[in-house]
Structure 1
């Protein structure tokens, strides 16, 4: 049977119209359902306002917190859970422990544990998040299994953070680390942040990894995490890692090592200032200024001629932090360097330090002698070569 083209078009339009109408109807129903749920949640929160007042008044008491009296409907339990989770995420210590114990008594942990086995991915993710907030240590194993199931998916980080919060022993965190680095070997910073959300002291675990581990991803995470702590016992492991075949690990290890300059032999810092990796030379030059190590004035002077801009930059910054002696080296580099890039780096640092000293001198009389001393050094070393390059040609009277 022949169908005219316009009849075909009309049929297609009818189908599209019905589809669009059906989509709008489904959207309307979903919005209506969501609105009704929000209304019921608000009503439940209002109904139990006295209970929340009781919790606020007794959270710092010696006794355990009691559940609300009477039977709770599913929507009431959901409303109370939302309030408890909100509080748990904003407080810590024993108060959080009391609220998590209350969640367990209310059956919320078991409820989310069952939802963790749902066939719907969204429900599993929500359940994992809630278990993490409630620090449900008994669910750590299940969360780790779910994490392995998520594999390389981005949602693995949601499950990983939940597992970190629930972890009850360093072994749990070690297993979590291995899984995350296995499926996301480049996400070092994110994994370090996830592990940091644990209530456990993670420093011993990471220090142990530095001594015993050879996996590059694990070592990178450990070095990132330990950069925020002060753990002298890892000092020996850093010497091993600073000669790693991985440049990223060498640089991170050097940064950590230079936090302990008081433990390093003088020649060790000198070796780092002359290291083949320019990133390590730069961080070593920076550390000299941060720790006020005047012994390395000559080494910093040599670094002013480095081919890498960052090495010159941090060397100049460190020299400017080493008082008049460092300023003298800067002026000499500005006056005598055969390298135009080195000379420019020195000039810039000289001018910045003079500006800073002048500002300090204008704000306090005790800073005037220092400014005058710098100005004298500047004029003596640079002489007329500095004319026009800087406005500081006269002393400030005290």
Structure 2
């Protein structure tokens, strides 16, 4: 018993010692960080005139140089950080001058050597700075480092540095293929990284759309959101029929967002696709396209087994004027099961906005819907649609 008590005391003392050591280490790190911040501020003030010199000569026909005299490593880091900040802000000749300054000053060469450091924190910092300096000569080393790095935050930092630095589309493709090889749901992040490239993004995305790797095609499709895509419509038309579910779904979303002139048989084909992602994308787009001729298809889609398809169909019907709203009322009054619940929920959302409309057109549109609503559910304004239905239900699941 005495031996066990002694062991307990030893354990407590060891824990207290570890806690004390941890607290001391944290204080040391905080003190070191504060000292570095003070040095950064001091050197920034010291080289204020130099920074003014660089800014004033960015558009002149002169070669930028470092300040005269010997610089400490901290001073070099301050100047490098300021150059990287401006590289992000400027384009064209001004950026090229800053990039050349980083090379002439030896910043790029130093960070390339740091990629071989045994310390992981030094490697991460070097990768970040090389990307910031658009160091195309470092891309082979960055690719090699990425190939031997397990998936994690550092992988994303390396990929972004490659995207910023690469001058060859093949290097971008290899980086994206490596990201996909980790077998993670990373397509949206990869698309964001792709848009960091200095290359012509439109040309690069066009190449990826024709790539045999479906993952790269999907990355390109995701990256195209928010881009001007009229030139890509023929390619999207082809990808809408892709055998890959994810590719087909993304292609349908983009294709419909480009406001094409859809034929009735094309709409019917999309609304009856065997993948719910495609049906949901088509149902959502039909409302914004004001495709009133698709109301029967949207009404049928209220019975779809997938909630996303039903909800998107109800939203689109609500956007198609009185006829679409009347279709919702019919489904709410005579429909069954999920179709009825979805229609009830959407009508409830619309009617709850009474008095919120400020523009005359919105008020007129609401009043027309109110007349349709009263025709189907009576003039008992004190009763909500849920009371008329006489049933409950989870309308948001």
Q: TM-score range by the shorter chain?
A: 0.7 to 0.9
How far is the alpha carbon of 1:165 from its aligned partner? 0.6
Indicate conservation of the 8 Å contact 1:131/1:139, yes or no: yes
Structure 1 partner of 2:356: 359
What is the distance in 2 between the residues matched to 1:39 and 1:106?
A: 24
What is the distance in 2 between the residues matched to 1:368 and 1:27?
A: 62
What is the distance in 1 between the residues matched to 2:32 and 2:350?
A: 66
What is the distance in 2 between the residues matched to 1:42 and 1:148?
A: 38
Paired residues for 1:150-165 under 5 Å: 150-165=149-164
Indicate conservation of the 8 Å contact 2:286/2:294, yes or no: yes
Indicate conservation of the 8 Å contact 1:210/1:234, yes or no: no
Establish whether residue 341 from structure 1 lines up as the match of residue 335 from structure 2.
no
What is the distance in 2 between the residues matched to 1:356 and 1:140?
A: 56
Aligned CA distance change for structure 1 residues 116 and 297 (closer, same or farther; 3 Å): same
Aligned CA distance change for structure 1 residues 270 and 357 (closer, same or farther; 3 Å): farther
What are the superposed Cα offsets for residues 7-31 of structure 1, whole Å, 9 maximum, x if unpaired?
Answer: 9999999999999998888777766
What is the distance in 2 between the residues matched to 1:364 and 1:8?
A: 78
How far is the alpha carbon of 1:143 from its aligned partner? 1.2
Aligned positions, number: 384
Aligned CA distance change for structure 1 residues 35 and 208 (closer, same or farther; 3 Å): closer
What is the distance in 2 between the residues matched to 1:192 and 1:66?
A: 37
Structure 2 partner of 1:178: 177
TM-score by length of structure 1 reads 0.82
How far is the alpha carbon of 1:163 from its aligned partner? 0.9
How far is the alpha carbon of 1:326 from its aligned partner? 1.5
How far is the alpha carbon of 1:255 from its aligned partner? 1.6
5+ residue gaps, structure 1, are: 391-398
Indicate conservation of the 8 Å contact 1:324/1:373, yes or no: yes
Establish whether residue 189 from structure 1 lines up as the match of residue 184 from structure 2.
no
Indicate conservation of the 8 Å contact 2:229/2:258, yes or no: no
Query: Of residues 303, 306, 326 in structure 2, which corresponds to 1:305?
Result: 303
| Other structure's SS at 1:349 match | helix
Structure 2 partner of 1:259: 257
Structure 2 partner of 1:138: 137
Establish whether residue 291 from structure 1 lines up as the match of residue 286 from structure 2.
no
Aligned CA distance change for structure 1 residues 145 and 383 (closer, same or farther; 3 Å): same
Structure 2 partner of 1:350: 347
Higher-Rg structure is 1
How far is the alpha carbon of 1:32 from its aligned partner? 5.9
Greater shift, 16-25 or 265-274, is seen at 16-25
What is the distance in 1 between the residues matched to 2:23 and 2:277?
A: 58
Establish whether residue 379 from structure 1 lines up as the match of residue 371 from structure 2.
no
Aligned CA distance change for structure 1 residues 359 and 239 (closer, same or farther; 3 Å): same
Structure 2 partner of 1:395: none
TM-score by length of structure 2 reads 0.82
What is the distance in 2 between the residues matched to 1:7 and 1:356?
A: 72
Paired residues for 1:39-78 under 5 Å: 39-61=38-60, 63-78=62-77
Superposition CA RMSD, Å: 3.6
What is the distance in 2 between the residues matched to 1:385 and 1:36?
A: 73
Aligned CA distance change for structure 1 residues 316 and 197 (closer, same or farther; 3 Å): same
Aligned CA distance change for structure 1 residues 306 and 30 (closer, same or farther; 3 Å): closer
Aligned CA distance change for structure 1 residues 60 and 22 (closer, same or farther; 3 Å): same
Establish whether residue 166 from structure 1 lines up as the match of residue 165 from structure 2.
yes
5+ residue gaps, structure 2, are: 386-397
How far is the alpha carbon of 1:290 from its aligned partner? 1.1
Structure 1 partner of 2:215: 217
How far is the alpha carbon of 1:176 from its aligned partner? 1.5
What is the distance in 2 between the residues matched to 1:63 and 1:135?
A: 21
What is the distance in 1 between the residues matched to 2:33 and 2:226?
A: 43
